[in-house]
Amino acid sequence: MGKRRFFCYNSRYNCYTEQNCNGWDCLVMTDILLATYNGGAFLQEQLDSLYAQTDKEFHIIARDDGSTDDTKEILLRNKEDHPGMLSILPDGESTGNARDNFFCLLDESTAGYVMFCDQDDRWADTKIERTKSLMLESERKFGADTPLLVHTDLIVTDNAMDLIDMSLFHMQRLESSFNTLNRMVAQNNITGCTVMINRKLKEMVRRGDNALMHDWWLGLIAAAFGHIVFLPESTVFYRQHDENEVGAKDVRSGEYFRSKLADREGIKKLLADTYVQAHEFLTVYGDLLSEGQQAMLKEYINLHYYNFGKRFSTMMKYKFFKSGLLRKLGQLVFG
């Protein structure tokens, strides 16, 4: 990408002026990592919501994964129209998935804080400000040398940004308190586009080939070695459409219940994937995990070898249960 140039917002002149990103200046900056792929339909709306942020101390780093629509042209036009605010990584080999696209972006980040941006949502104007405020408060509480992840709720909308639900956590019956390692191995309640991580967490990231998604992997790291902190506010308008609606199913609906009953093999695969990811995490971070954490992960990995009684007692002992009755039953019956 070459030498980074940083332009920080100058409130006196209401414009961006170039600064050297050294010391404290760099630590308070936020890198917004924007992963794109054929996102031309909604990308400009998302970018406009970034420019409207009340906290202006940020820099956008974008990486396109081989789009065939006008996504690249939109990025280039915005880079020209908003000098210093947007860097575009050079074209490279396509990763083929959002997880690795974001990890490639994370490798390029140099700021004190990092946020992750999907191409098709819209951020609330105070998203950076509110999230960073809680991050700074958490660093004062736990120490800046502690790996920290802050995440928030989302407003769920349809393709046209019409309201579906004011809270993804409500819609999917998620529990923000399920933020310890034993809970995180079983279920991810973190949505990547709401996340901010601090530099210490960024420095601890080791890629895992069997990580299910970047947000889940980052959550495992934070749960194991630091803290996950939840801001009970919706900071993102999450657009549900054909490409991402799997992430916003209404688990309260009869349709969801019937679809799960009809897809037993799908449930088994989802559970199996979490065992594989847990094994990957144990392998990648085994040298840093405590003996207790290693033992707990091994028990989780072995759940699918146990009979119903042994599985139930192990899940009770380590509190491996997901949120929601239907999910718990799925773990016990199909695990």
> Same structural domain for residues 276 and 182?
no
> Same structural domain for residues 325 and 230?
no
Of the three residues 212, 246, 280, the one that is the final residue of a domain is 246
Q: How confident is the model at residue 47, as a pLDDT? A: 99
> Same structural domain for residues 152 and 278?
no
> Same structural domain for residues 151 and 237?
yes
Of the three residues 226, 246, 266, the one that is the final residue of a domain is 246
Do 111 and 37 meet the contact criterion of CB atoms below 8 Å apart? no
> Same structural domain for residues 196 and 274?
no
> Same structural domain for residues 240 and 254?
no
- The model's pLDDT over 138-196, given as tens digits with 9 standing for 90+, comes to 999 999 999 999 999 999 999 999 999 999 999 999 999 999 999 999 999 999 999 99
Do 268 and 284 meet the contact criterion of CB atoms below 8 Å apart? no
17/326 Cα distance (integer angstroms): 53
> Same structural domain for residues 232 and 267?
no
68 in a structural domain: yes
Residue 184 has what DSSP assignment? H
Name residues of the chain where pLDDT drops below 70.
1-27, 243-263
Q: How confident is the model at residue 262, as a pLDDT? A: 55
Q: How confident is the model at residue 248, as a pLDDT? A: 56
CATH code of 193's domain: 3.90.550.10
263 in a structural domain: yes
Q: How confident is the model at residue 148, as a pLDDT? A: 99
Distances, alpha carbon 38 to alpha carbons 47, 57, 64, 310, 311, in Å: 15, 28, 9, 47, 43
Report yes or no on whether pTM surpasses 0.85: yes
> Same structural domain for residues 225 and 261?
no
52 in a structural domain: yes
> Same structural domain for residues 66 and 111?
yes
Domains contained in the chain, number: 2
147/107 Cα distance (integer angstroms): 17
> Same structural domain for residues 256 and 233?
no
Q: How confident is the model at residue 16, as a pLDDT? A: 39
Q: Note down the domain range covering 30.
A: 6-246
> Same structural domain for residues 39 and 179?
yes
Of the three residues 246, 269, 291, the one that is the final residue of a domain is 246
Q: How confident is the model at residue 17, as a pLDDT? A: 40
Q: How confident is the model at residue 96, as a pLDDT? A: 93
121/124 Cα distance (integer angstroms): 10
* Residue ranges in the chain assigned as alpha helix (H): 24-28, 43-51, 71-81, 98-107, 127-142, 168-172, 181-184, 199-204, 214-225, 254-262, 264-285, 291-301, 308-318, 325-334
* Residue ranges in 82-126 assigned as alpha helix (H): 98-107
**What is the three-class DSSP state of 151?**
strand
Tokens at 140, concatenated: 């004062």
74/282 Cα distance (integer angstroms): 41
Q: How confident is the model at residue 244, as a pLDDT? A: 59
Q: How confident is the model at residue 308, as a pLDDT? A: 93
98 in a structural domain: yes
Distances, alpha carbon 118 to alpha carbons 49, 179, 237, 294, in Å: 12, 23, 11, 33
1 in a structural domain: no
> Same structural domain for residues 255 and 242?
no
